[in-house]
Chain A
Amino acid sequence: MPERVTEGGGAAARRPGTRLAGFGLLAAALVALPHFLSFSQKEIAVFLVINVLLVVSYRLLTLTGEWSLGHVVIMGVGGYASAIFSKALGVPVPLAMLAGAITAAAVAFVLAFPLFRMKGFYFLIGSFAAGEVIRLLWKRFRIPFGGPKGLKLIPSVPDLELGPITIDFFEPVSYYYLCLIVVSISVFILYRIERSRIGLTFHAIHWQDHLAESVGVSTWRYRTLAFVIASFFAGLSGALLAHYIGTVNPNRFDVGEMVFVLIWAIVGGTATIYGPVLGVVVLTIINEVVLRQLGFDQMRPLFYGAILIASILFLPQGLESLVGKARDAWARRGE
């Protein structure tokens, strides 16, 4: 069954040696990466790693067939909660981050009661409305959310003393490594969840919800579970973001940002776990490096929109389908 879930999977990918070597290369590249970047590109790399967690967690929700428009607000819930815990209540930052993620999961659990009475388009609109309500509450209530200007001076991750070495997480490179570790572990957990019995049930609910119910699966319970898990990791990504940039405000988590997550997921494809990652990485490189270098600053949304339209019209299966094709071509080489 898992083989059918992750489409393709040619002979090369299944050989454990090749796969291990691939992961080793990837890890080495990711560790070496920041040393080849300019300062502003290092910052982009930090945001990119955080966004990878955001979009991969989003994909877990889409496994059950539901597309939310509130995921970025849930990310914001994690950021706001972590900021409030650490700033107002004096909780140590790492614990506050975890508490922020748990808060995001708890909010998602409460929202699941009204939202999962809906499906499909209604869920899309409902999640959007619920997210907007949360965002407007941040905007309206100066205490404790800081109003339209949001919260500032959020404590950063404290320095880590390892014998003679002190790691200062104010440095983008250090923070990049911290995020890389947190995000790698999170993505691995999300991957294991998808491959577990629970993940298979998510797939079953997506493709055959009535059949799944008829064999005794509570679709409501599993949809809620997917939503809560996805929200936990979205909240974690929000907390990572908040303690890096030191500020959160309602506009940072508006529907415009949500559109980007949707674009990453759709352009990358959501059939595999690496699809959305491909989407966010490729589009961030195009957006931040290529278009910025070319100097089209004002026109960037236009290109972004055009890429989105072109990818839906001409590559409906996403970038990940190219990977599958390339792998098949590689497996058939020399035939």
Chain B
Amino acid sequence: MTELLLQTLVNGVYAASYMALIAVGFVLIFGVMGVINFAHGELYMAGAYAVVFVYAEREFPFFVAVAAGAIFVGLIGLLMERALFRPLRDNPLGGLIVSIGFLLILQTLAVLGFGVRMEHIPPPTQQTLNVFGIEGVILPLQRLYVIVASVLLLGGLWVFLRRSKFGVALRACAQDPEAAALQGISINQAARIAMFIGAALAGVAGALTAPLVRIHPFMGHPVIITAFIIIIVGGIGSLEGAVVAAVLYAMVHTFVTTFFDGVIADIVGLLLMLLVLVIRPTGLFGIRDRA
């Protein structure tokens, strides 16, 4: 029993790390641009297909494929910012709707390029580690990559936002775009950076987990639901909240899945979100109302 609990805990840490990557990108885009990016799950999907193309089909090293996926998805983000979100800056519902349109386009492109069948790609490493030195509690090395990458990337982002000039500009835009513009900060520039980073984080999550999941054009759907739950629980616009909520939700979801089943876990997650919406709509860490 202890082994099962510890194993579930390890699985939860893995789930938390990739969910945090997705949710933080989602929050960053919302915070700086005020847009709900419904296509965020499809950016994750695009990252996974980048690995299918570069690593599985062209046989480049795995980490080259992950980097390529991050840049590729980041560029998709830049395209979305320029073509869709910038013309609709004063229309938050419009931004949501066009991202739904873009989601349909990305899904169709994936279907046309790779077909609807599920892709399985061989993980670059089959090695597993024993955690806590216990025989029965294992962590595949591939999952460890995801955890390490998540910690490094999110840590790097935190330093970037706190210490660099761009980071401060970004946070200023999130607090008050007009005041930021009056201080000489380019809102377009901030939106570009936020969109690139946010999309690239989703792409990295998709690319790193590609060997561990079933890849298909509609794999983004559950991801966007997860992202919604996390940002509501953590508080809209709060990056720290997103990380904490990702850990919380991943643990709840993993434990309920292990001890009951996956559908019940989804229901519990959604009920958790509804509960937060009813009791404390600003979430655990949210301070102000941007919606």
Contacts and interface: CB of A to CB of B under 8 A. Distances in A.
Contacts of B281: 117-118, 122
A114 B98 contact: no
B108 A302 contact: yes
B100 interface: yes
Specify which of A124, A130, A299, A302 lies most central, judged by the most chain B CB atoms within 10 Å of its CB. Answer: A302
A312 B98 contact: yes
Contacts of A304: 101, 104
Given A302-B108, A312-B97, 8 more contacts: A114-B277, A117-B277, A125-B277, A129-B229, A132-B266, A302-B112, A305-B103, A316-B94
Interface stretch (A46-54, A136-144, A198-206, A224-232): A136-144
B105 A262 contact: no
Contacts of A117: 277-278, 281
Contacts of B171: none
A120 B281 CA distance: 12
Interface of B: 36, 84, 87-88, 91-94, 96-98, 100-105, 107-109, 111-112, 221, 225, 228-229, 232, 236, 263-264, 266-267, 270-271, 273-274, 277-278, 281, 291
Contact of B274 (A133, A263, A307, A309): A133
A103 B119 CA distance: 42
Contacts of A262: 97, 100
Contacts of B273: 125, 129
A305 B266 CA distance: 28
Contacts of A121: 36, 92, 236, 291
Interface in A120-171: 120-122, 124-126, 128-130, 132-133, 136-137, 139-140
Is the contact region of chain A dominated by helix, strand, or loop, or is it mixed? helix
In the complex, the 5 A-B pairs of residues with the closest C-beta atoms, listed nearest first? A305-B104, A121-B291, A308-B101, A302-B108, A305-B101
7 contacts: A132-B270, A259-B104, A263-B97, A301-B107, A302-B104, A302-B105, A307-B101
A55 to B, nearest CB: 15
A242 interface: no
Contacts, number: 110
A122 B291 contact: yes
Given A114-B278, A298-B111, A132 B225 contact: yes
A217 interface: no
Given A129-B270, A139-B263, A309 B277 contact: no
A125 B109 contact: no
A304 B263 CA distance: 31
Interface residues of A, number: 40
Interface in A292-332: 298-302, 304-309, 312-313, 316
Contacts of B97: 262-263, 266, 308, 312
B194 to A, nearest CB: 18
Nearest to B272: A129
A313 B105 contact: no
Nearest to A121: B291
Interface in A224-276: 255-256, 259, 262-263, 266
A80 interface: no
A176 B240 CA distance: 55
B40 to A, nearest CB: 14
Nearest to A313: B87
Contacts of A58: none
A67 interface: yes
Contact of B277 (A126, A301, A308, A312): A126
A122 B276 CA distance: 11
A117 B279 CA distance: 9
Nearest to A67: B93
Nearest to B100: A259
Nearest to A114: B278
B267 A140 contact: yes
Contacts of A309: 84, 98, 101-102, 105
B109 A302 contact: yes
Contacts of B264: 140
Contacts of B111: 298
Contacts of B87: 313
A255 B228 contact: no
Contacts of B91: 316
Contacts of A67: 93
B101 A129 contact: no
A159 B238 CA distance: 60
B20 to A, nearest CB: 19
Given A299-B108, A313-B87, A305 B274 contact: no
Given A120-B291, A305-B108, A129 B98 contact: no
Contacts of A122: 232, 277, 281, 291
A303 to B, nearest CB: 9
Nearest to B218: A256
B274 A298 contact: no
B112 A133 contact: no
Nearest to B39: A305
Contacts of A299: 108, 112
B253 to A, nearest CB: 13
A300 B266 CA distance: 30
Contacts of A132: 225, 266, 270
Interface in A97-122: 114, 117-122
Contact of B112 (A259, A263, A298): A298
Contacts of B108: 298-302, 305
